[in-house]
Structures are given as structure tokens and as C-alpha cells.
Chain A
Amino acid sequence: MRDFIVSRGISGAVSLFIVTLLVFAGTALLPGDAASALLGQNATPEALEAIRRNLGLDQPLIWRYLAWVGHAAQGDFGQSLASGRPVAEVLLPRLGNSLLLASVAAVLLLPFAIGGGIAAAIWQDSWFDRVLGFTSMLFLAMPAFLVGYILIYVLAVRLGWFPSMSVAPLFGGASAWAKILALPVISLVIIGQAHTMKLTRTAILAVLATDYVLMAEVKGISRRRIILRHALPNALSAILSISILTVAYLIVDVVVIEIVFSYPGLGKLMVDSVAYRDLTVVQACGLLFALIFIGMNFLADLLALLVNPRQRVPARGA
């Protein structure tokens, strides 16, 4: 157990280091810089020079990377190049908004998708299984933004139930938040449910194909009881991993959905900042997304381990 945590901790740190390189190199490779993005058509060589000097863009790349990593390790992400405000101050409210959106979506999505997957496995090859399989594949194949636009058209423009732009409300408290979260959350649930449902179904069916289930069937135990008493506990570690990865995917989908609904989250912040070459913000966002993803993966493995004692042994040898 301890070995596992240590080894996963090290590999996580290595991943994070590679991510810092990629994020930094990626932002450095973008054509144009904050100075030219700020000035646009108004740029004169003197003005560009002055802004670059102010922002420290005239320093060598390696030096900028080391300074950035050094400060980031201490939790200091520097200042926004566009507004001069501390990056953390820009980032934190947006991170909170994104986490709120992703967690509300996860709370609704997971029971629905896992339940659907189990039901589909119980009634394998029935019309229910087929319809569910078809619709979830349909939504899986549909780009996230398309789902968002369809929902806007139907629920906002035609029916007028929800606002089409999810701007954080000043007044109104929880009910106002519920209103603005509605469309992005529904989109995320629709997009995210498909693979969770499919994977759950597959995991249960895989267990159902094992010998002890066959034995139970031969003994005449009902299929429902086999699934709930025998298959489900054994498939639990797989389902837990799937759930955690679903949440990780949700955080990725959040980027697209936030753009569609103009929701003030981390994803929209990152995309907007790319457009304006606010690289310190982009780097911090990139790092944060990577951290969340790596953390979720770690958590998925750890939980799988806790739920299924058998996995602890091979993990040592591997």
C-alpha cells in the first residue's frame, strides 16, 4: 500500500514536470505575444518594446521557465499580463465556478449512468438495452458544443425556461444559481453519461461471464440476485475507476460547455486568455487542469485498490 502510494506519487510528479514543460513550450510557441495582442493594429516598435520590457518578455526562455516553475512550486503564479492582477486572484473564483458545475453534473450523472448500465446488463439484449445503447451512442458521437446549442435552441430560445448565457447572478441566491447551472449541467450529463453507462454495462457483463456466476446460475439463483449479490461487488472496483475517470472527463468537457454557455469558469478563462496572450493565466490554467487530471487518476487507482484486496498483490510484483 505504502509502496503503491510512493510509486504513484513519483510518477505523478514526473507527469506534472512533463506537463510544465509542455505547457510552457506550448505557450511559448504561440505566434505573437501579449505585447502585440494588447496593442493590435496600434502597435509601434517603441510601444511593443516598452510593454515587453514591463512584462519581462525580453528575458531568455529558459530563465523565464525556471522562474515560473520556481514560483509556481511556491503557489505563486505571477501576475496576469493583461490586467496586472495576481493570477491566483483571477483563477480562484473561476476554479470554484468550474468545480461547482462539474460536481453538480457528477452528482446527477453518476447514479443515472451507473444505474442505467446495471439495468442494461440485467436486461441484456432486451429492447430496453438496445434503446439505451443506441441513445447513449448517439450522444457519445455528438460533439459537446452541438448538444449545447440544441439545448439552447429548445430550452432557452423556444421554451424560454432557462437563460442561454450562464452569467453568475448578483441577486437571487440558490434558485438563481440553479437557473444558470441548468443548461450546462444538462449538457454535461447528456455528453458524459454515454461512456460511463457503456463501461458499467461491460464491467458487469464481464463478471457475468465468469465461472462462479455460471455456477450460481446452474444452482438456479435468479439473474437479478446474481447481478446484485455476486456480480456487482466484484465489478465495483471497475465501476469506481470509471466514475472517477468520468469526473476527470467532465472537467475536460467543462471547457467546451463553458464556452457555449459563456459560463465564467476555468475553461472559459483559459480560452479567453489564449486569445489575448495572457500567458501567465494560460500556464496556471494548464497546470491546474493537469493537476486535477493526475489527481483523479491517482484517486481512481487508490480506490480500486481499497475496494479490491486482490489487486494489492499483483501491484507489488508489477
Chain B
Amino acid sequence: MEHRTGISRRSFIASTAALGLFAATAPAFAQGTPKRGGTLAIGIEGASTGDTLDPRTFNSPYWAVAAGSIFNTLVEVQGPANDLKPGLAKSWEGSNGGKTWVFDLVEGATFHNGKPVTTADVIYSLQIHNAEDSRSNSRAIAAGIAGMTADSATRLTIDLAEGNYFFPAMLSNYPLCIIPEGTTVFDGVGSGPYKISRFSPGEVLELTRHDGYFKTDAAWVDQVVILAANDPAARASAFQSGQVQIASMLDTRTAELIKAMPGKGLVTLSSSQFVGFNMRADIAPFDNADLRMAMKLAIDREDVLRRVYGGMGRIGNDTPIPPNDPLFAADIVQNSYNPEKAAELFKKSGITGPLQLHTSDAATVPAVDMAALFKEHAAKAGIEIEIIREPADGYWANVWAQAPFHATVWGARPTADMILTTAYSAASPGNDTHWGNAEFDAAIAAARVEPDEAKRKTIYAQAQALLSSDGGAIIPVFGDVVEGVAAEVEGYVPGTQPLANYRAAEQVWFA
């Protein structure tokens, strides 16, 4: 059931925005001429009977894909290089140190109810995320907006409280989709390629083509069915049996078996989601920097990659930036397995006795498997780890960010700035290692308003060096995301996030 999955919905909640820096290994899909027709079925996890069509509640892969089929955001990201593409905004420009942004909307975009999309709709759609009762995972983005002005029906100026050159990328976050102004009964009316014909929460979403869609070279299939397949086994068998043509987040351990079947293709995404272990840097015993480094050297990353992820992933360096990311600091010291050095540092720290590591299925199955391996690896360095397996229920409320030593999971974010700020800056509520480093905070604040890309990269390298050598997180591996795409499906452009950056429905056609 759900707990057997690699990424459960709960952990995906953990991963909030789940947009992000992935790099995809593009498979060789035959690209014929697009043609209309057919029904596309997609199997994806993260649906519940309690689901609603309020974009502020979208917080799972299922709803990311649904949003990408029903709605549009202002900006979209596409392809393995994470290129920014026009969504409802055809162009945008930042000025004033990244504080002022002007967006021009496309002409001729209409909602499913026939109403044209205007700047008033955009303002309303962004504002609701910061409303008092909002539980949107994009609330922080909306909260950073100081003011919005509709200069005309198609021109919008957004002022930010603080400069941020990543702002357009952040607007591609799937809950920030545009709905008609004044919507209070959320019935799923959007401007996207498909409109809802049936919504059965936790079961299925059936969509039919929106004939007034403003993108004329998209939305080829007539109908889209998004099946709630929370169970990875159900997802895999639905794909194998041909009931769905696209299935995402398949179990890496069975990927080879699926690939061997005729007519079934696999796509591997180099996701920047990660599972790691947090050492709380603010309290004993992990307020000791020697102990933190000893632990980082006491885990065999290659072994974790091989045995937990079946070799499908990349080695991490205790920062949330994976090696395939353009901002990855390749020149800093890579932490790797060194039992002798770890033993030496452990001794120097003066800490004795077993260290209790809290882990749980809530932080995904790899977190549990990885803890068991870590225990073995650390034992060779004379460090005793006692594993405490917590129930998945209530893990995020009662254990995560609270226990001195615990498992965590973070989803990919649209920008390096977002993950570094959310998870590691001293003042962030999401700072789950409770690490506070003024130099690090200053570096990421400076990078945010640095227009020069090369300089920005240097600053991020410094930040990664600080995190890797002193931070409280152990991030050994970034696991890949595996998805299945049937051979008859054409036009699929693997993105950096699942389901072609969640917009597969409008991209593909049947051969």
C-alpha cells in the first residue's frame, strides 16, 4: 500500500513545491507529425478522497499533473535544461535589482467558461495563496509580493518585498495556476488544455479537450484520464497491462523488468529530491562540529546508491544541490566514506554511547533502508547507531525537525535559492537541522540579488562549501525518478520534473 512506495503523498507534502532542478536523460522517442485524437490515461500517486479543486490545496504529484492539464501558470519550465517558457505570460522583464517585474499576458487566452483571461484574474489567483486560511505550499512566494498593479488588461506589474532574480521561475510552481477572478466555489475552471468532465476524488479525473485553448500547437488527444494510483504496484501493473500509457514514479528496483516488456519505454529523471539524515546543530550532541563531520564520513555513499537505489542516482555532498545541477560546486571537498578519519573525529568529539537515529516510512522507504545501511557503515568506524523506527503517522508533526538525529525528505524546488533558503537559512521555519550560519545566510541573500550568473555561481559554491563542511544534513545520494511511457505515445519531452514538468497531457499524441 502507500507505505511501500518510494515517495508517498505525505513525503511529497514534505517536498512541497516539487518543482525543480532535475536533469533528464532524454530517450530517443520517435517524433512523427502530431495528430489529434485518442484518450490518454495517466497513472500517478498522491490522490485522496479528501481532494478538492482549490489550487491552494494542490500538494502532490497527482495534483501537479492535474493542474498542468486543467490550468496554466504565468511561466512554465520545460526540458532537461529547465528552460523558462511562456505560459499565460508571453514575456516578462525584471528591473530595480530584481524587485519589480512586468508581465505581458498572451492575447486570446480564455477560460473553460469562455471568459477571457485578464490581469485581474492573475492578481486574484496569486493573492488567494496568501489569504489567512490558505494552506498553499506556495504561500511564501505569494507572501513575498509587496504589490500588484494591472497596467492594462494584459500588462501586470509585480513588486516584490525583496529583490529576486528567480521570481519568474517560482511562478511556474503548479499551485500558482490562474483561475477566474472572484472564484470562491472551486469547480476547476481554468484556461488550460483540458476541462473537467468528471471528478471523483481519490479515484479519477476525466478531462475533455478545451477547444478554445490558446496554445494552437498543443492538446492533441481528445480526452485525458488521470487515475489515482497511489500504490506503486498498482501503478506498475496498470502501465504493464496498457491500462495507462504514462505512469510516473515507478519503483527503481523493478524498472528493468518493465523495460524488458515490448512496447514499454522508460524515462529516467535526475531529480533533485533527496532523502537525508538531519543532525540538529543547535543541541547536544550534534552541536559538536567534529561529530557532525565524523557522521558524514561514516556513511558509504556508493553502497547506499547501489543497495538502496539500485544504482539509479547520483552521489550527494551533503548539500541539496545535485552534481547534475549547473550550480553544483564541483571544486569543493567531496565527503566520502572514511571509517578511520570518522573514528578519529568521533573520538575527538568526546561523545560516547549509541546515537539514536529516528527514521520512518513517512520519509520514504529509502530513509528506512538507508538507516539500516548507515548503522553498518558507522559500526566500522566504531560509531554505534541505534535505529528508532517511528510510525509514519504523525512523523512530520512529532519527530521531524525535533529529534536530534532523524530522517528527512525534501522535494525539488524551482530554484537553488528556494531549497537553500527554505531548508538551511537560520530564520526559516523549515530549517530542520537548526543550523545557523551567518556567513551562509549572507551568501544566499547576496546571490538572490546578483544579476551576474558567473558571480552567482561563485557565491553558491561558497554556500555549498559551508553546508558540506559544517551543516547538519547528511545527503548521501540523490535518487532518480523512473517513469514509464508507452511506445505509441509521441511528443513527450522529458522535463526536470515528472510527467514532462507536469504538462505531458498537452504535449503528447498517439502514433
User: In whole angstroms, what is the CA distance A163 to B201 when docked?
Assistant: 20
Is A41 an interface residue when CB atoms closer than 8 A count as contact? Answer: yes
User: Interface residue count for B (Cβ, 8 Å)?
Assistant: 52
- C-alpha gap A259/B358 in the complex (Å): 29
The answer, yes or no, to whether B367 is at the interface (CB within 8 Å) is no
Question: B437 interface residue, CB < 8 Å from A?
Answer: no
Complex partner residue of B204 from A90, A164, A167, CB under 8 angstroms: A167
Tell yes or no: A262 within 8 A of B by CB: yes
Contacts of B2 in A (CB 8 A): 275
Do B206 and A165 touch (CB < 8 A)? no
B interface footprint on A138-170 (CB within 8 Å = 1, 0 otherwise): 000000000001001100110010011101101
- What residue of chain A has the Cβ atom nearest to residue B235's Cβ? A165
User: Are B50 and A42 touching (Cβ within 8 A)?
Assistant: no
Q: Are A170 and B396 in contact (CB under 8 A)?
A: no
Contact of A165 among B15, B229, B391, B396 (CB under 8 A): B229
Any chain B CB within 8 A of the CB of A241? no
Q: Is the CB of A167 within 8 A of B203?
A: yes
Taking CB atoms, residues of chain A closer than 8 Å to B501 are: none
**A44–B429 contact, CB under 8 A?**
yes
Could you tell me which residues of chain B, from 381 to 410, have a CB within 8 Å of some CB in chain A? Answer: 391, 393-398, 400
**Is there an interface contact between B241 and A38, defined as CB atoms closer than 8 Å?**
no
Please state if B50 and A264 are interface contacts (CB–CB under 8 Å). Answer: no
Chain B binder among A232-240, A266-274, A287-295: A266-274
**Which residues of the partner chain B approach A44 to less than 8 Å between Cβ atoms?**
429
How many whole Å from A17's CB to the nearest CB in chain B? 27
CB-CB < 8 A to A153: which residues of B?
237
The reply to whether B204 and A42 form a contact with Cβ atoms under 8 Å apart is no
Residue of B nearest to A264 (CB): B203
CA A153 to CA B48, docked complex, whole Å: 26
Residues on B with C-beta less than 8 A from A48 are 397
Chain B window 40-81, contacts with chain A (Cβ cutoff 8 Å), 1 for yes, 0 for no: 000100001111100000010000000000000000000000
B490: Cβ under 8 A from any A Cβ: no
A32 contact set on B, CB distance < 8 A? 393-398
Bound complex: CA of A47 vs CA of B375, how far in Å?
36
Residue of B nearest to A48 (CB): B397
Q: Which of A47, A259, A262 contacts B135 (CB 8 A)?
A: A47
What's the least CB distance linking A53 to chain B, in Å?
11
Q: Digit string of A250-285 for contact with B (CB within 8 Å is 1, else 0)?
A: 000000000111101000110111011110010000
User: Once the chains bind, are A165 and B238 in contact (CB under 8 Å)?
Assistant: yes
Closest to B3 in A: A275
Given A41-B396, A83-B50, A90-B49, A259 and B1 contact (CB-CB distance below 8 Å): yes
CA gap between A124 and B240 in the complex, in Å: 44
- Contact partner of B50 among A157, A160, A278, CB < 8 A? A278
Whether the Cβ atoms of A163 and B393 lie closer than 8 Å is no
Residues in B410-456 with C-beta less than 8 Å from chain A = 429-430
| Known contacts A40-B13, A170-B198, A273-B50; A160/B133 CB under 8 A | no
B residues in contact with A82, CB < 8 Å: 48-51
Asked whether, in the complex, the Cβ of B233 is within 8 Å of the Cβ of A41, the reply is: no
Q: Do B241 and A157 touch across chains, with their CB atoms under 8 A apart?
A: yes
Residue ID in chain A nearest B14 by CB atoms: A41
Cα distance A167–B133 when bound, in Å? 33
Q: In the bound complex, do residue A31 and residue B234 qualify as a contact, i.e. CB atoms below 8 Å apart?
A: no
Having A82-B50, A83-B51, one finds 11 other A-B pairs with CB under 8 Å, namely: A32-B394, A41-B15, A84-B52, A153-B237, A160-B242, A164-B238, A165-B43, A165-B237, A264-B203, A268-B202, A273-B49
User: Which A-B residue pairs are the 8 nearest by beta carbons?
Assistant: A82-B50, A32-B394, A40-B13, A31-B394, A36-B397, A41-B14, A164-B237, A156-B241
